[in-house]
Structure 1
Amino acid sequence: MSSRIYHFMPGLQTLFNYRQRWLAADVKAALSVAAVALPVAIAYAQLTGVNAAVGLYSCVLPMLVYALFGSSKQLIVGPDAATCAVIAAVVTPLAAGDTIKHWQLVITMTAMTGFWCLIASKFKLGVLADFLSKPILMGLLNGVAITIIVGQISKVLGVTFDERYLLERLADAPSYITQSHLPTLFMAIFTAFSYLLIKRIKPSWPSAMFAITFAALLVWGFNLNQYQVTTIGVVTGGLPLFQTPEFNIGIVRELVVPALNLAIVSFVSMMLTARSFAAKNSYEIDADKEFRALGMANIASAISQGFAVSGADSRTAVNDANGGKTQLVSIIAAAIIAIIAIFFTAPLEYIPSAALGVVLIIASISLIDLKTLWQLKYKDKQAFYLALTTLLAVLFVGVIPGITMAVLLGLFQFIRTVMRPTDQILGVDINGVVRTLDTSDKSKAVQGLFIYRFNSPLTYFNASYFKRRLLTEYARQDDDIKCVIIDAVPCFTHLDLSVMAMLADLELIFRKRNVRLELAGRKRQLLAWFKVVGIKSGKEGIYIHSDLYVALNKNSHNQGLNIGLATSTAPQSTQV
């Protein structure tokens, strides 16, 4: 019974087997994580367009839930720049300036994101962690980071953007600079200076927390409100009160696809962070469990009136750097943030919006990595163009269309790989090992045989391409080909009627040319499929062998060839 519980709640097993020697490191890491998470949560609440307390609520319950259901010992979940930017881009036009409606739409989209994650976990879609390739995610994060930076400049300058899209805002940048509110600009410069100074003097200290604290003290001590320095205003503390949404249910339809996109992007981003720290600390994580944990964390956030969360790479790095050993770090940090959210929110009203804008800009700058993106041009041009296309899509058409394009690009990249895979003509070397025929002359073609390998599972949408490639390569061979052997292991992975029909057509084409068609590998499986669809095997149809070596040996003996082939007991893996 306990094993089933531990399987469902991996964090519980760690906590029940907790060792006292871990406690000091976990407490130290938790204090550091809380110190970093507090200002970031408040800043991301502003980015999302909700009250500062909502940012704090988004940390507490999700962190507790992930500590129990997540399989990563170091990962910290919480508000994330890209996640908040996506939510704001979706919800803001739907809310049309209604703050209550805006907040409720945020909660609704958060819950929907969580449910999408749970559905994905139920169907074991953790493989989606590999769905968005690193180049696509790189372009997406760079684009989102630049979008956030431009958006927060209005807070730094003390102006309000009239334009919704990035290009229009950049076009009108000179006029906005001339309209800058000098006290607000001074506050932004002071915050940035404080942050950089602390970062230089004490790199291990939570610079963002100290910078925001100094800015708030400056507002409070000198009553800078009289100079129209905007602050986040009164923050209502206490326990979150659950409210049912009060808007037209039809609006929910507008959130379905964006919530799905957000679930995929959040999960992929989280898995990159979780896997990197798991590898560093020598343990494995379960992608399907992580999907479920992310879903439950988002639903927990929605229940506690918070917004969507994801894996927070900066806070995870702080946790690891301070020696955090277990999920207890999340529990202690959540408790600290909860105490502040319930009892000590009064001082938060003095935090200037410009200071939060600076913190968001600094956090977003850390996401920008244009140098690595540009280096892709010399390492992998296809990856470079994918990353660049995603980046430009986010910048030119917006965050949501950009994310949708990123998801579609990932899908198209996969389909293209499956539909148009590489293929090889095989031969044997002097030791009888099957190798690819290439310019190295390490292997030679077997007289009278044409051996073909297709490096992708065969299905209805690439069967025609397979047929064309096989016939094209066959036509380039000498006229004395007596037998065509297809390596069945990589391509015949599942029963597909279209593939079976194509195979029957190939057998007829080769039979008319007095050429035998043979398959090597997956013998039992193929014989069962042939029986189902009515394709004949053996002398009256297609020969099937247990592996390539058996097929080659049989044909070499039949034709009186002496090519020194390895026996059928040779290793099944062939060299390519």
Structure 2
Amino acid sequence: MLSRLFAFMPGLNTLFNYERKWFADDVKAALSVAAVALPVAIAYAQLTGVNAAVGLYSCILPMMVYALFGTSKQLIVGPDAATCAVIAAVVTPLAAGDSVKHWQLVITMTAMTGFWCIIASRFKLGVLADFLSKPILMGLLNGVAITIIVGQFSKVFGFTFDEKYLLERLGGIPTYLAQAHIPTIIMTLSTVAIYLGMKRIKPTWPASMFAIALGAVFVWLFNLEQFDVKTIGLVDGGLPLFQTPSFDVGIIRELVIPALNLAIVSFVSMMLTARSFASKNGYDIDADKEFMALGIANITSALSQGFAVSGADSRTAVNDSNGGKTQLVSIIAASIIAVIAIFLTDPLEFIPSAALGVVLIIASIHLLDLKAVWKLRLRDRQAFYLTLTTLLAVLFIGVIPGITLAVLLGLFQFIRTVMRPTDHILGVDINGVVRTLDSSDKAKSVDSIFIYRFNSPLTYFNSSYFKRRLLEQYARQKDDIQCVIIDAVPCFTHLDLSVMAMLSDLNTIFRKRGVRLEIAGRKRQLLAWFEITDIKSGTEGIYVHSDLYLALRINQRKIAEQQHSEEESEEESEEESEEESTHNNAITAE
């Protein structure tokens, strides 16, 4: 019974087997994580368009839930820049300026995102962690980072954007800068100075928290609100009260696909962080259980009136750098944030919006890595174009369409790889090991035998390409080919009637040319498929062997026997010719 519970809640297993020596490191890490998470949560609440308390609620129960259901010991979940930017882009036009409706739509989209994650976990779709390739994710995160940075210009310079899209905002910046609010700019510069000063004097301390806290102190001491320095205003703290949505249910249709996109992007981003820290600390994580943990964390966030969460790479790095050993870090940090959210929210109303804008810009700059994008141009031109396409899509057509395009690009990239994979002609090296024939000349082709490998599962949409490539490669060989061997292991992975029909056609073509078609590997599976699809095997059809080496040995023996038989026939023919010549000479002599 306990083992089942541990399998369902992996974090509980760690806590049950907790070692006392870990506690000091976990407490130290938890204090650091809470110090970093507090200002970021408030800033991301502003980005999402909801009350600061909602950002705090998004850190409390989700962190505790992930500590129980997640398989990563270091990962910290919480509000994320990309996640909040996506939610704001979807919900803002639907809310049409109604703050209550906006908040309820945020919660609803969060719950739907969690629902999609749980569905994906039930169907064992943890493989989606590899769905969005690194180049696509790079383009996506860079595009989101630039979008957030430009969006925060209004807060740090004290004006309001009238335009909705990035390009229009960039075009209007010279006009907006002429409207800049001097006291707000002074607050912005002060926040930047405090942040940079803290980073220089105490690099390990939470500079963002100190910058925001001192900004709030300045507002309170000098009553800067009289100079129109905007603050986040009243923060409704206390325990979150569950409220059912009161908007038109039909709007939910508008959230279904964006929530699905958000679930995929959040999961992929989280897995990149979780895997990197798991590898660093020498353990493995379960992708399907991570999907489940992310889903439960998001649903819990929605029920506690929070918004969508994902893996927070910056807070995870803080946890790891401060020696955090277990999931207890998340529980302690969440408890600290809970105390502040419930009892100590009054001072938060003095936090200046400009300071939060600075924090968001700094967080987005950490997401920004245009140098890595440019390096792709030299290392992998195709990956560079893929990254650039995703980046420009996010910038030009918006975050949600850009994410949708990124997901589609990932799908098309996979389909293209499956439809048009690489293929190889195989040979044998001096040790008898089967290798790919290439320019290194380490392997040589086998006399009279053509060995072909197709590096993708065969299915109905690439079977014709397989047939064409095999015949093209065969046509480049010498005319003495007696046997064509297909390596079945990488390509015959499942039964497909189109593939079986194509295979039968190939056999007919080669038989007309006097060439044997043989398949090496997956013998039992292929013979069963042949029986289902009425394809003959053996001497009357296609030969199937257990593995490639056995197929080679049998065919080399057949060819050797055939050559030996041909040599004997030639010798007999020569002897008969000599006898006939002697006989003819004798007759001539007579």
TM range (shorter): over 0.9
Distance in 2 between residues matched to 1:168 and 1:141, nearest whole Å: 21
Aligned equivalent of 1:445: 445
Aligned equivalent of 2:310: 310
Unaligned runs of 5+ in 2: 564-590
Q: What SS does the aligned partner of 2:367 have?
A: coil
Deviation at 1:433, TM superposition (A): 1.7
Distance in 2 between residues matched to 1:562 and 1:75, nearest whole Å: 65
Q: Within the alignment, does 1:55 sit opposite 2:44 as a pair?
A: no
Distance in 2 between residues matched to 1:80 and 1:428, nearest whole Å: 53
Q: Structure 1 residues 374-383 or 144-153, which shifts more?
A: 374-383
Q: What SS does the aligned partner of 1:560 have?
A: helix
Letter in 2 for 1:317: A
Deviation at 1:442, TM superposition (A): 2.3
Aligned equivalent of 1:390: 390
Aligned equivalent of 2:148: 148
Deviation at 1:88, TM superposition (A): 0.2
Deviation at 1:435, TM superposition (A): 1.7
Structure (1/2) with the larger helix percentage:
2
Aligned equivalent of 2:184: 184
Distance in 2 between residues matched to 1:505 and 1:286, nearest whole Å: 43
Q: What SS does the aligned partner of 1:426 have?
A: strand
% identical equivalent positions: 79
Aligned equivalent of 1:218: 218
Aligned equivalent of 1:466: 466
Letter in 2 for 1:406: A
Q: What SS does the aligned partner of 2:560 have?
A: coil
Aligned equivalent of 2:320: 320
Deviation at 1:151, TM superposition (A): 0.1
Aligned equivalent of 1:570: none
Deviation at 1:185, TM superposition (A): 1.1
Distance in 2 between residues matched to 1:556 and 1:31, nearest whole Å: 71
Deviation at 1:431, TM superposition (A): 2.4
Aligned equivalent of 1:376: 376
Q: What SS does the aligned partner of 1:172 have?
A: helix
Aligned equivalent of 1:347: 347
Q: Deviation per CA, 1:239-277: give whole Å up to 9, x if none.
A: 011111011111101101100000000001001111111
Aligned equivalent of 2:297: 297
Aligned equivalent of 1:266: 266
Letter in 2 for 1:252: I
Distance in 2 between residues matched to 1:442 and 1:241, nearest whole Å: 71
Aligned equivalent of 2:137: 137
Letter in 1 for 2:18: Y
TM-score by length of 1: 0.97
Distance in 1 between residues matched to 2:442 and 2:211, nearest whole Å: 65
Aligned equivalent of 2:99: 99
Distance in 2 between residues matched to 1:345 and 1:437, nearest whole Å: 69
Distance in 1 between residues matched to 2:170 and 2:441, nearest whole Å: 59
Aligned equivalent of 1:555: 555
Aligned equivalent of 1:240: 240
> Is the contact made by 1:110 and 1:259 (CA closer than 8 Å) also made in structure 2?
yes
Distance in 2 between residues matched to 1:303 and 1:471, nearest whole Å: 60
Letter in 2 for 1:407: V
* Greater C-alpha radius of gyration: 2
Distance 1:46 1:537, change over 3 A: same
Q: What SS does the aligned partner of 2:435 have?
A: strand
Deviation at 1:505, TM superposition (A): 0.8
Q: Structure 1 residues 428-437 or 19-28, which shifts more?
A: 428-437
Q: Structure 1 residues 62-71 or 183-192, which shifts more?
A: 183-192
Q: What SS does the aligned partner of 1:132 have?
A: coil
Unaligned runs of 5+ in 1: 564-576
Distance in 2 between residues matched to 1:276 and 1:111, nearest whole Å: 28
Q: What SS does the aligned partner of 1:453 have?
A: strand
Q: What SS does the aligned partner of 1:180 have?
A: coil
Deviation at 1:562, TM superposition (A): 11
TM-score by length of 2: 0.94
Q: What SS does the aligned partner of 1:559 have?
A: helix
Aligned equivalent of 2:521: 521
Distance in 2 between residues matched to 1:102 and 1:561, nearest whole Å: 82
Q: Structure 1 residues 306-315 or 409-418, which shifts more?
A: 409-418
Distance in 1 between residues matched to 2:138 and 2:410, nearest whole Å: 12
Letter in 1 for 2:347: P
Deviation at 1:4, TM superposition (A): 0.7
Distance in 2 between residues matched to 1:407 and 1:499, nearest whole Å: 29
Distance in 2 between residues matched to 1:451 and 1:520, nearest whole Å: 10
Q: What SS does the aligned partner of 2:424 have?
A: strand
Q: What is the root-mean-square deviation in Å for CA atoms of aligned residues?
A: 1.1
> Is the contact made by 1:556 and 1:562 (CA closer than 8 Å) also made in structure 2?
no
Deviation at 1:143, TM superposition (A): 0.5
> Is the contact made by 1:521 and 1:547 (CA closer than 8 Å) also made in structure 2?
yes
Distance in 1 between residues matched to 2:167 and 2:193, nearest whole Å: 29
Letter in 2 for 1:158: G
Deviation at 1:561, TM superposition (A): 6.9
Give the 4+ runs in structure 1 shifted more than 6 A: none
Q: Within the alignment, does 1:287 sit opposite 2:282 as a pair?
A: no
Distance in 2 between residues matched to 1:217 and 1:470, nearest whole Å: 74
Distance in 1 between residues matched to 2:429 and 2:316, nearest whole Å: 51
Distance 1:348 1:561, change over 3 A: farther
Distance in 1 between residues matched to 2:32 and 2:442, nearest whole Å: 59
Q: What SS does the aligned partner of 2:517 have?
A: strand
